[in-house]
Amino acid sequence: MSGRHEELLAYLDKSGAELFTLLTRLTLRQDVAEELMQDLFIKLSRSSGPNHKAGTWDAYARKAAINLAFDWRRGRKHAPLQQLEQVPEPVSNDNSPLGGLIHSEELQETLDAIGRLKKASREALIRRYIQQESYEHIAEQMGTTSHRVRAICSRAVNHLRVALGSNHRQST
């Protein structure tokens, strides 16, 4: 086994659970996250590895995982909504079926809107707000400054507000 493959396996041993959690959050389905983890492993093992300044598997693998999840979401555009029992537990205390359905639809809308962002904006937003990484860590992984990451996140959030606000106005 080559040193690169050993390095990849060591990285996946260390960070595989985090990548799986990320995929589950972005797809809202564990079964799909399992399939995408397999696809991610194949993609990483076939690649020549990270080719950016930081040179770590972390940034490369997370970017690949995010892209796989949103490619899957785009492919499911016309699929029926998830069953209520597949929806993650809502943040609020409203446990009614209607509350669960509303939460599911809002989550789907938000993830679809995130999927329409540019790749850099999508990656920064997910890493900051879903994975709760620091601006400094994201900047290091993306090869930019923390101020630039803050600006990217701010613009992405504003774009989401506009996109989601216009969707709600159209439906009422």
- List the domains of the chain with CATH numbers: 1-79 (1.10.1740), 116-172 (1.10.10.10)
CA 170 vs. chain centroid, Å, equals 26
With CA atoms as reference, report the closest residue to 119 among 74, 78, 165: 74
- Contact between 26 and 69 under an 8 Å Cβ cutoff? The reply is yes
Task: Give 22-71 pLDDT, tens digit per residue.
Answer: 999 999 899 999 999 999 999 998 887 665 444 578 888 999 999 999 99
Mean pLDDT value across residues 67-88:
68
How many CB atoms neighbour CB 108 within 10 A?
16
Coil, helix or strand at residue 17 = helix
Instruction: Work out the percent of the chain whose per-residue pLDDT is above 70.
Output: 80
Task: Give 84-108 pLDDT, tens digit per residue.
Answer: 344 455 445 556 777 777 778 888 8
CA distance 37 to 17: 10
Tokens 């050993």, residue located? 6
The whole-number pLDDT of residue 114 equals: 93
- Report field, pTM of the whole predicted structure over 0.75: no
